[in-house]
Structure 1
Amino acid sequence: MSASKRFQGANTLSRYHQNFLERQHCKWHSSEDKVANNMFSICILMPNYMLFRLPSEILHKILSYLDAATLICIGHVSKSFYQRANDEALWRNIYRRLLNKKSINMVRKMHEIYTLESQAQPVDGWKLHYIRTRDAWARKKWRTHLGVISRHTGLPSHTDQILRNITWELTATDRSNRETTYDLSFLRFFDTSVVLCWYGNWPDYHHISTIQLHGVRRIALTCPGLKAPGWRSFMEMIDMETVTKGMQDYGQDQVIELKLLKPHIVMGLWKGQHHIAFVIITLHFHKLLERSTQGSSVWPYVDPVVQPPFDDIDPDYGLHGYHLHIVLHSSEYQIMSECFPQLFCHRDQICNGLVRLTAIDGTFFWQHKPLSGDITLPWKCEALQGQIKDRCFMTLTLLDEFNKPFWCFSSSVSTKCKEMPFSVLYATEQFLIHYQDSDGEVMMTIVQGEKEKQLYLVNLAVYVSTGKLNKYFGKDY
């Protein structure tokens, strides 16, 4: 064969390889699990491809022009590329470029440049050092946003913006200790909480031994079809063997029946089956960023010990100056969000170990609050959607007289219908919402208008346990 024909054949083969690579690249975004397999197939189909026959020096020079995200993607091609893409010299140069782009303290910058010039390699390697530095700068930006506190909620005003940099994962472990991780399907942010939902190919819940919730923070790298490097923070574990014994029915429609695993965790099962359709979790913003980022992969974040507030010799210290922010919401829309300042309780009103804080008195019509929607819990999975009536979520934030979070929770609640005396303003039907835990209780009364069918909140009282009060304020009520 002549040299011209061999050259023409090589060009044809190169064009074929180029088209093949382009077709494979289009598939990267559709399935992250097939990236390594696709690229490995390319290596098998092209054993004599020119790239594998290049000298190591030239290949190293080519890789030196790539950014961090591209190097991470290339590391999934094969073992050979994984070794080359994790070369310390490559990541040292990437770290140098990072320092040139970022504006950091001059002393720190000089120290880093000195380290680079002295060829001193970090203990964890340049790649991990680069990832940790990117993560540290991101968390430094978060701290600046956390400094602005909302006077309505007592929480950082930009919490939802910061939490958009976080994701959450559920890891289900079956009885043979095989783990399956489920990525978040969708989420919804509200004033003081976030609703998370996972749906997909879940197994029979009887085959699951535990479900773990992890918060995951990833560095800002665009890796097509791959997950960027990050860290997992263990938040909560559900022991299915224990939970299913006391699992409560939480409502149903024609397709789904809901089970309440915990007050803030709802599981949807296909009706008449034991297969899981979806899992919905609602989380309060208070300490959520710390819980989602500062725990280890196996241990949760632990709150620091808080000293009791300063005692100003007021005999009713701890019984006045409360600020209540309460939200009713579904998994998709907000039903109500209201603030009630300057709540108090007299000593003689403490009854049965509970301190009553009245936010809305039903006898005063001007205090009644309209609701902006029906009390329903919409659900959806891959192909179906529906809604469960008389179910929603309640998110409560109670602040002390120093505007600090005192009692915070986000939980699923349900309404119960109860007859009431005839009223000129409202229909004869009322709905009761009752929440209770070890820290206290919440009682709400909702009625429906006679003409426009509008729902109104006509009664709201919060009961705080004296045990929580005494522990927080160092008192003995």
Structure 2
Amino acid sequence: MNRHKNLMVNYLSSHKSSSPGSGEHTKRKTPTDTTSGSRRASNPPRHGAQLSSKFSSRMSQRKATVHDIPDEVLLKVFSFFGAQDLILVSQVCQRWRNLANDKFVYSSLWRPIFLKYAPKSEVEASRAGDFTSVSHLKTTCIRRCVEQRNKRVFRNLRKKSPYTGISQQRDVEKALIDSCVFWQLAFVDASDNEMCIQNDDVSVHTMAASVRWYNFSGQSLHSTKFLRIYSCNPIFFDAKKGCAVKDSPYQRSVLMTFPLKWSSWVGTNKPIGENDTVNLYCLPRGLAIAVWKDGGEVAFVCVGLHLHHLVDRCLRGNSLEPFCPPVPPVLTDDIDSAFGLHGYNCTVQLRTMKQQIWDQQFRGLNCHSNTGGGYAQFILIEPHERQIINKAIVFPWKTEAFKGKIKNACWLDITVIDETGEVFWTVSSLVCSKTAQRAGASSLDFDYCDDNSRSIDFIDEVGKFHLEFSETDDQDMYITQAVLGLTLKAINTRFSSSCR
């Protein structure tokens, strides 16, 4: 900038009349100049000097900005940036976007990144001159690194658990660790501005993963229009260490979106649990929110993510639409009149965020005639049977500074496998136990039919689950009944049947 300034000042100074009788001005004439040479010398023009003075004044007051930096200098600066920084600067303006994305033939910012992180076969092809265009280097680099990451991660998910019929817990946990995935909770206001918070902890169980956020600073839900949960998936990995590169750019996959008008929602829904400090609310699709009683700000948020297709939903979705798993083909059978009503397996687990309370699997479930109310009912535990619950039904919670417990609340995980071995229904949701309704309730064993009997219920558009348990005088808890219900609509859709 100073060089341009000095050149302009020198140019103007060289054309300025500095003394009488200057040769430049005595020889120079204009169409309107009719005076003598001596007169011209005695009255030199002042226009050049005034322009030089004004220009010098402006240049001394004006400061250089980034828009004055030549492309070559910007490219030199950008060459010191990593992939994450290049993506960030590409969002500043159109000019920086073109430079950071290698839109010019003379730029090659993404080539060293490509050579460092892309698969070896792609790197060798690029060095051999087989690469198509420099302008596609960034896109190809990111795409190939994502493919390489997914190929490495999905190798862990080749086997199904013989117990649950879905991917094994340890395999899913290893896949999540290898992908270095983390989760964001986004509060979206009326202007579609997002405030994103990264998860504080995650735990993987037999059938679901629990993700929790509790590091909030006075966040209120009254101005929130949507709640969104994203999985964030790093792109570049260190080949030797097998972990994501520090500050690696990441892709976001939306897992859930909840329209939320908190004031009206709280007015029509009661908390499923509470203690002296927080109220705990259960929203659809496994989302639980606790708010402080004093002030109403968010205390913690937790969500249950069923392991069925969880890794696919994390790695293969995008920031606008969630991943949709493939729908099993519709099955038909004209011979078996009860097709779709027998041979089911159901696994049920009650747990906290960290520990198991009760776990049981039920095989060979049949329903031939016990249908009603639009549901096919499968009896899991008969009234005369009993199964002991070894631990109390309680929901421990914590925040950055406080912790506590909420009685009669826990997490419910369910996996239902149909007679073809395909997953029919999955549940991972917070539930609460309530005093069992005696009027109209199904019969229970007389010894356990008392005022201490409690029930847990869950229902959605595919199925429902009912469980009853009772506490003895020795404070031992026994499950006295468990019933699974699947909607006839879902069964008819799956098996192209006409159950009524």
TM-score w.r.t. length of structure 1: 0.75
* Aligned: 1:345 with 2:360: no
User: C-alpha separation between the residues in 2 aligned to 1:281 and 1:331?
Assistant: 10
Looking at structure 2, the residues matched to 75 and 401 of structure 1 have their Cα atoms a distance apart, in angstroms, of 49
User: Which residue number in structure 2 is paired with residue 446 of structure 1?
Assistant: 469
The verdict on how the C-alpha distance between 1:312 and 1:401 changes in structure 2, with shifts beyond 3 A counting, is farther
Q: CA deviation at 1:271?
A: 0.5
> 2:434 — aligned with what?
416
Residue 95 of structure 1 corresponds to 114
Q: CA deviation at 1:316?
A: 1.3
| Cα shift readout 1:283-327 (whole Å, capped 9, x = no counterpart) | 211222222222221122223343213526211111111111111
Matched-pair contact (CA < 8 Å) for 1:76–1:82? no
Aligned with residue 384 of structure 1, among 402, 415, 418: 402
Q: Note the aligned Cα RMSD (angstroms).
A: 3.6
Q: Which residue of 2 aligns with 1:52?
A: none
Alignment identity in percent?
A: 23
Offset of residue 176 of structure 1: 4.4
Tell me which moved more, 237-246 or 387-396. 237-246
Distance 1:76 1:316, change over 3 A: closer
Structure-1 separation of matches of 2:341 and 2:232: 39
Q: In structure 1, give the amino acid aligned to 2:249.
A: P
With over 3 angstroms needed to count, the CA separation of the structure-2 counterparts of 1:402 and 1:117, relative to structure 1, is same
Give, in angstroms, the shift of residue 463 of structure 1. Answer: 1.1
Structure 1 residues 244, 301: closer, same or farther in 2, change over 3 A?
A: farther
Counterparts of 2:237 and 2:377, CA distance in 1:
51
Q: In structure 1, how many angstroms separate the alpha carbons of the residues matched to 2:496 and 2:381? A: 29
Cα deviation for residue 428 of structure 1 reads 6.4
AA of the residue aligned to 2:250: G
Quote how far apart the aligned CAs of 1:278 are.
1.3
* Match 1:279 to one of 277, 301, 317: 301
| Distance (whole Å) between structure 1 residues aligned to residue 462 and residue 377 of structure 2 | 13
Partner amino acid, structure 2, of 1:232: R
Aligned residue in 1 for 2:253: 233
What residue in structure 1 maps to residue 202 of structure 2? 187
* CA distance in structure 1 between the partners assigned to 2:244 and 2:160 by the alignment: 37
Equivalent residue number for residue 319 of structure 2 = 297
Out of 308-317 and 238-247, give the one that drifted further.
238-247
1:319-334 correspondence runs (5 A): 319-334=341-356
Could you say which structure has the higher strand fraction? 1
Residue ranges of structure 2 left out of the alignment (5+ in a row): 1-71, 439-443
SS of 1:413's equivalent? Answer: strand
Equivalent in 359, 373, 384 of residue 391 of structure 2: 373
Residue of structure 2 in register with 1:405 after alignment: 423
Q: 1:380 to 1:349 in 2, by over 3 A?
A: same
**1:220 Cα offset (Å):** 5.0
Normalised to the residue count of structure 2, the TM-score between the two structures is 0.71
Cα deviation, residue 457, structure 1 = 2.2
Number of aligned residues:
404
Alignment partner of 1:437 out of 455, 460, 467: 460
Deviation of 1:438 after TM superposition, in Å, equals 2.1
**Using the alignment, how far apart are the partners of 1:431 and 1:74 within structure 2?**
58
Q: Which secondary structure state, in structure 2, belongs to the residue aligned with residue 139 of structure 1? A: helix
Unaligned runs of 5+ in 1: 1-54, 104-108
2:271 is aligned with what amino acid?
A: D
Query: How far off is 1:403 after superposition?
Result: 1.7
SS at 2:414 equivalent: strand
Distance change in 2, residues 1:339/1:149 (3 Å): same
User: Is the Cα contact below 8 Å between 1:334 and 1:372 reproduced in 2?
Assistant: no
| CA shift for structure 1 position 474 | 0.6
**Structure 1 position 476 matched with structure 2 position 482:** no
Rounded to whole Å, the distance in 2 between the matches of 1:116 and 1:245 is 64
Alignment of 1:203-214 (within 5 A): 203-214=219-230
Instruction: Name the SS for the 2:392 alignment partner.
Output: coil
Give 1:389 shift.
Answer: 0.5
Higher mean C-alpha displacement, 464-473 vs 297-306: 297-306
Return the index of the structure with the highest Cα Rg: 2
- Equivalent of residue 362 in structure 1, options 358, 362, 383: 383
Instruction: Name 1:150's counterpart in structure 2.
Output: 161
